[in-house]
Every structure is written in structure tokens, then in C-alpha cells.
Amino acid sequence: MTTVLKVDGVSRSFDGRQVLKDVSFAVSGGRMTGFVGANGAGKTTTMRIILGVLAADSGDVTLAGEPLTRAIRQRFGYMPEERGLYPKMTIAEQVVYLGQLHGLSRATATERTTRLLDRLGLGERAGEKLEKLSLGNQQRAQVAAALVHDPEVLFLDEPTLGLDPISRRNLWEYLVDVRARSGTTVFLTTHYLEEAEEADRVCVIDHGHVVAQGTPTQLKSQLSEDYLLIDAADRADLIAELRRLGRQFVEEQGLVRIDATGERVHLILKTIDTPLTTVRTHSPTLEDAYLRIIAAAEEQ
């Protein structure tokens, strides 16, 4: 696994307000890296610096050890959070045009556009203007525009934001499939932690600082807990018993949560005499880890 893209000590301020503070991380070749954080955390600013839309106040961004130039950035693919295509142009017309801007001949750009639109389910609508499409299909067209020149690194800025659940799932499955088939390096910002959980590596940014990074498994194992969610017909009796047992618990999701870190679930349940109506085990998710990471960062 080779490091393709490296961000080293990048800082940036706007009107005297520092929005990025010594941001550093690496993106490995052929892998997907998820970049997650709240609104205003610095995700899009970081991506725009990498893409050359903004300049950093300090720090470096390199690809395979080389400073980024315009020629190198032509090898990137970018799907912005905002709709970036022309509503009055046909889908095929503008994807071909964008392929030519990335150095493709018209013939090559046309052939790739036809193939991509067919794979995205837009082949029969290639001659329609973008404004006539649903939001989900507009996003698919943007995927085609980002992929037409076969980029070395694909940047996805909130690619499924604003889509209905079915459209979001379909588009996300296609993006995962593209990465698996092509081996393209992917850098992803997303608000959906279940999407970031499918990344090979995750970097968490908060108020312009990188506060954690690692594989999803590493983040979950270090910063989240296994727990039980239980309930009884008589909740008051259950709570009274847990207090007698000295068992730590909280009430959430309409149930009683018991920390089960490092303990066997069946042994915990054997200590409880109150008849239970609900027993659920919870495996930690990336969202659990993310919330703990952010809470810890806010306390510092």
C-alpha cells in the first residue's frame, strides 16, 4: 500500500479566523479514505486546497512526493457538493466537454461518456438537458463527469447529500463498485457515518483540527463500547434491581442501556432476576466512535 496523496501541516484562515490548523493526513493508493466532521469543521476547505481552488497559508500537499501542479491536478476527478454541471446543456454534451478539458480527444471522451452513462442507467437520457432530470439522476451525471477521464484520485464531496434513501443507496453502491473495479484512489467527505464505515481509513476533523484517524475497526475498538439494551414489563423493578447490583446504566432509545465492555453478555443477564421483555446487544458503529471522539475533543 503506497501513500499517493499527503497533506502535511496545512493551515488556512479567512478574515482573521483560522479554519484549518496544522492539518496532516495521508491517502493510500487504491484505497478509500473518509474525511468526516460536522458542518464548518474544515472538510470542504481542505478538499479545495488539495484541488487548488484555495491556497493554504502554510503547509504542503504532495502526490507521490511531488508538489501539486495544474498538470497533476488534471489527473484528479472531483464531484462537488454543490451541483456543478450546466442545467441547459445535455448530459452527454457536457460530460464529453469536461473529458476534453482533461485532455481527452473528442472521440475518446465520447466513447467513455457513452459507456459511463450506460453503466449509470442514463444511456437513454444522454440527449436530455440536465434540468429535466431528477436530483438523483443529476448526481449520477456528476459521477460521470468526475470519472470520464479515468482519474488517478477521485474526490467526492458529500456525493449523496440531499438524495432520498433509495437514490442515495443506489448511487453509493455504484461508487463503491467503481472503486472496487478500477482500483481508483478515493477521498470522500460525508455526513453519513455508515458510508465512511466502508472506507479503508477514516480521518476525523473538528474545528479545523484532525482529532483522530485510523481504520474504522481501530476507531471503534479504541473509542466505543459494547452494551446491552434491555427492558422489563415493570421498568421500576428493573431499575431498582440494577441499582442494588451496583450496575451502571442509562435510559435511552426507550430502553435501559448497560455497559458490557469486557464482560460476557450471558453472565450479565444471569445476575438479573426481573423478567425481561427486551434483550438486544449493540455492536459498536463508526457513529458511536465518532460521537465519542468529538465529545473528547470538545472537552480539551
Residue 230 CB contacts under 8 Å (≥ 6 apart), including other chains = 238, 255, 256, 258, 272, 276, 278, 279, 280
Most confident of 99-103, 223-227, 250-254, 263-267: 99-103
Average pLDDT over all residues of the chain:
90
- pLDDT single digits (tens) 76-121: 999 988 778 999 999 999 999 999 999 999 999 999 999 999 988 8
Q: How much is the pTM?
A: 0.82
Question: Mean pLDDT across the stretch 22-50?
Answer: 94
DSSP string across 270-300:
HT--SPEEEEEEE---HHHHHHHHHHHHHH-
The CA radius of gyration of the chain, in Å to the nearest whole number, is 23
pLDDT at residue 24, rounded to an integer:
97
CATH (residue range 225-283): 3.30.70
pLDDT at residue 52, rounded to an integer:
94
Q: Does 207 have pLDDT greater than 60? A: yes
Q: Candidates 3.30.230.10, 3.90.870.10, 3.40.50.300, 3.90.730.10; correct CATH number of 3-214?
A: 3.40.50.300
**Closest by Cα among 88, 97, 156 to 128:** 88
Higher-confidence residue of 167 and 108: namely 108
Q: Return the residue matching grid coordinates 421483555.
A: 277
Query: Where are the domains positioned within the chain?
Result: 3-214, 225-283
pLDDT at residue 224, rounded to an integer:
52
DSSP letter at 68 equals: P
